[in-house]
Amino acid sequence: MSDIVLKVGNLAAAYRKNTVLENVSFEINSGSLTGIVGPNGAGKSTLMKTMLNLHPSLQGTVSFFHSSLEKMKKRIGYVPQRGSVDWDFPTDALDVVTMGLYGQVGWFKRASSAHKRKAYEALEKMGMADYANRQISQLSGGQQQRVFLARALVQEADLYFMDEPLAGVDAATERAIMKTLQELKSIGKTVLVVHHDLQTVTDYYDHVLFLNRTVIAHGKTKEVFTRNNIAKTYGGDIRWLGEENGYGLYPVK
Ligand SMILES: Nc1ncnc2c1ncn2[C@@H]1O[C@H](COP(=O)(O)OP(=O)(O)OP(=O)(O)O)[C@@H](O)[C@H]1O
């Protein structure tokens, strides 16, 4: 039986007086790969940040591995939205990945050559070895995303939070990223991903969490990825495209 690695209870969050999440409750089992979907402004990024205490909660509880974030921090990896990062920070790709090892290296200690090697291998895995010494500001968006993934990989966390890792990447990078996430899952890691493209949900994720201010539906993809739940989450019209188009469901913009 799989174990619960993340438990969220009645979580609420706001920006000033504007409540954007309320009564959010769900549990995530180990070894699952979950897509978090919902329309723009549904609170997906805020949910990730609030769970990780990067944004304050108004109320509610979040436990990691039946314990607290504080105690379990080293087992948790977070890949923020690319747009939320200061890419002008003067550092190269290898350093960014090496920073992912600071849980092991310890702040202020110099990374050993073994650590550098590990970081380099992660870059290699993401097809970015040739860019190891390139300033991060001089990488394309997709390349920056790959560097971030490499950083998450060296961290060897057990639970990963990834905020739109596929945003603005080309098809090859999307495949590389999804392959990496599948590999993480296959070795028992748990991964939560904010995802936008409804057409690929059934291919990519074994679980899906529909979010719009609160949890609309959550469970195994084959059980909850239904036309009804999509309509409830996205509102308005949805269009039936036929079985040949992925799951055949698509919200009309
Ligand atoms: N820093 C902020 N200050 C004020 N309001 C914010 C801030 N960040 C987000 N919001 C608001 O909170 C709500 C949820 O935003 P959030 O970014 O979590 O949504 P999302 O589901 O990740 O959206 P998207 O799919 O567009 O990335 C939105 O209404 C947004 O305008």
CA of 53 to the centre of ligand 1 (A): 16
- Is the pLDDT at 237 greater than 70? The verdict is no
Regarding pTM above 0.90, the answer is no
Measure the CA–CA gap between 214 and 44, rounded to whole angstroms: 10
Q: What is the mean pLDDT of residues 24-48?
A: 96
Q: Is residue 227 part of a domain?
A: yes
Question: pLDDT tens digits, residue range 174-185?
Answer: 998 999 999 999
Considering the domain boundaries, does residue 188 fall inside one?
Answer: yes
Residue 104 lies in a domain: no
Which one of 22, 24, 36, 44 would you pick to mutate in the ligand 1 pocket, going by the greatest count of ligand atoms within 8 A of its CB?
Answer: 44
In this predicted structure, what is the pLDDT of residue 44?
97
Q: What is the mean pLDDT of the chain?
A: 87
In a domain, 97, yes or no: no
Does 15 contact ligand 1 (Cβ within 6 A)? yes
What are the tens digits of pLDDT across the range 110-121?
A: 667 888 899 999
Q: How far, in Å, CA of 26 to CA of 250, rounded?
A: 25
111 in a structural domain: no
Q: Is the pLDDT of residue 133 over 80?
A: yes
Written in H, E and C, the secondary structure of the chain is CCCEEEEEEEEEEEECCEEEEEEEEEEEECCCEEEEECCCCCCHHHHHHHHCCCCCCCEEEEEECCECHHHHHHHEEEECCHHHCCCCCCCEHHHHHHHCCHHHHCCCCCCCHHHHHHHHHHHHHCCCHHHCCCEHHHCCHHHHHHHHHHHHHHHCCCEEEEECCCCCCCHHHHHHHHHHHHHHHHCCCEEEEECCCHHHHHHHCCEEEEEECEEEEEEEHHHHCCHHHHHHHHCCCEEECCCCCCCCEEECC
> How confident is the model at residue 69, as a pLDDT?
94
Model confidence at 246, in pLDDT bands (50, 70, 90)? very low
Asked whether 133 and 93 are in contact (CB, 8 A), the reply is yes
Bigger pLDDT: 228 vs 103:
228
Confidence of residue 65 (pLDDT cuts 50, 70, 90): very high
pLDDT of residue 11: 98
128-156 average pLDDT score: 91
- Shortest-distance Cα residue to atom 7 of ligand 1: 15
* 116 in a structural domain: no
Question: 64: domain CATH number?
Answer: 3.40.50.300
Any domain includes 229:
yes
> Range of 38's domain?
4-85+157-251
Return the pLDDT at 209: 98
- Residues found in the chain: 253
Residue nearest atom 2 in ligand 1 by C-alpha distance: 15
47 CA distance to ligand 1 middle (Å): 10
Residues 6+ apart with CB under 8 A from 81: 45, 163, 164, 167, 194
Confidence of residue 247 (pLDDT cuts 50, 70, 90): very low
Q: What is the pLDDT of residues 83-111, one digit of tens each?
A: 777 777 788 999 889 887 765 545 455 66
| pLDDT one-digit tens code per residue, 188-208 | 999 999 999 998 999 999 999
The answer to whether residue 220 sits within a structural domain is yes
The structural domain count of the chain equals 1
Q: How far is the CA of 60 from the centre of ligand 1 (A)?
A: 19
